Amino acid sequence: MLMSRKSFLRVLGGGAVVAAGTAFALPRLDAMPAVAIEGWSGPASQEKDPRRRALAWALLAPNPHNLQSWAVDLSVPDTIQLYVDRTRLLPQTDPYSRQIMIGHGCFLEILAMAAAADGFASEVTLFPDGAFDATSVDGRPVARIVLRRVPGLAVDPLFAEVPRRRTVKTAFEARPLDPAHRAALSGGAPPAGLAIAIADEPAHVDRLRALGVAGSDLEMNLPRTHKESIDVVRVGAAEIARHRDGISLKGPMMWALRHAGVMTPEKAMTPGTMAFQGGRDYALAGYASARAFGWLTSAANDRASQITVGRAYVRLQLQATSLGVALQPHSQTLQEYPEMADLMAAMRRETATAADRTLQMFFRLGYARDPGPSPRRALASFITA
């Protein structure tokens, strides 16, 4: 929530001043619980199974709404079967599970990097029992990964950035994107069929920002799409520790708002409330501070291409991390539900996405302080067999 201490106290009124005062006096109040982020330390030192060691790193991959929609089967020796956890989807804003597939691509890329760092090559077979259709996902595996020890296997230098990777949701610094950083991020050779572009010319950035804001407003003002986000908001340390997923809201101000009854799921769903407006202000502050936007497009939009996009995207984010560049996806105008169609078409025009290509990822780039890691569930909760 973006609100000054003075405004905050004025809105709450006298009944909550004591709680608010306590919150501001204790800066560690309602901090991120240690259990929710213990996964960012990597696998336990006593873990000997290379599959579990690689999975412990893969679980740190970026993914939509931090749902962590991955499930794995370890019943076959030396093999990981990766599935979609179909209880963790976004049917309103990601009706075809395109974004979910991109998140699985991110997972696979970090898994392969982690296995290599342990001396194992990953033989990845996508959709070994057949690919999902274009509109849904089912119970078949997304990938079968067989680990094979290879002496002298090279370690990907980007693997060192995995525990430092962050999706920064706060406002960026005012300085523009360094031209050398822009060149490094846009000058690589993406996988076949993919292309990356970065815009930092002010007028172009303004137009992209306006489209992004419009997409966020549309999503928030459609109850069914907004509810999909509100349902996975975890308010306060206790909820964050219990779920270890979703969208985390924490800290002294959030503690006071929650205890004053100002921040509730019902109020966050209701336009005109402080909770609803605060959520909008928070999203808009990110757009307002953006000095550059980037996007990824693909020549195809089949399930394998979506996986490839995810693998490329997480490598881009890890490269940005190595340069000290912050990155945050803004997916609203790329979402495939009917009400978003006009804004999606406008975003395609503004990004010069050709008719035969798919705009897969849109994100802002800049500089920001480290916000700390996001919650991750325990490895055991992903293993089905």
Top-level CATH class of 34-163+373-382?
Answer: alpha beta
| Alpha carbons 59 and 358: distance in angstroms, whole number | 27
Full-model pTM: 0.93
Distances (CA, A) of 259 to 23, 74, 113, 140: 10, 43, 43, 44
- At residue 265, the pLDDT reads 84
**Could you list the pLDDT tens digit for every one of the 385 residues in the chain?**
334 434 433 333 333 333 334 444 455 678 999 999 999 999 999 999 999 999 999 999 999 999 999 999 999 999 999 999 999 999 999 999 999 999 999 999 999 999 999 999 999 999 999 999 999 999 999 999 999 999 999 999 999 999 999 999 999 999 999 999 999 999 988 999 999 999 999 999 999 999 999 999 999 999 999 999 999 999 999 999 999 999 998 888 877 888 888 888 888 899 999 888 888 888 888 889 999 999 999 999 999 999 999 999 999 999 999 999 999 999 999 999 999 999 999 999 999 999 999 999 999 999 999 999 999 999 999 999 9
Tokens of 247: 């969208």
Phi, psi of 358 (to 5 degrees): -115, 130
The CB density around residue 4, as the number of other CB atoms within 10 Å, is 8
Query: Any idea what DSSP says for residue 146?
Result: E
367, two tokens: 């500089």
* Contact yes or no for 290/364 (Cβ under 8 A): yes
The CATH 3.40.109.10 portion of the chain extends over 5-27+165-366, 34-163+373-382
pLDDT of 259 reads 80
Structure tokens at 174: 């005012």
What is the assigned CATH class of domain 5-27+165-366? alpha beta
Give the per-residue pLDDT at 262: 84
User: What CA–CA distance (Å, rounded) separates 294 from 330?
Assistant: 10
* pLDDT the model gives residue 3: 41
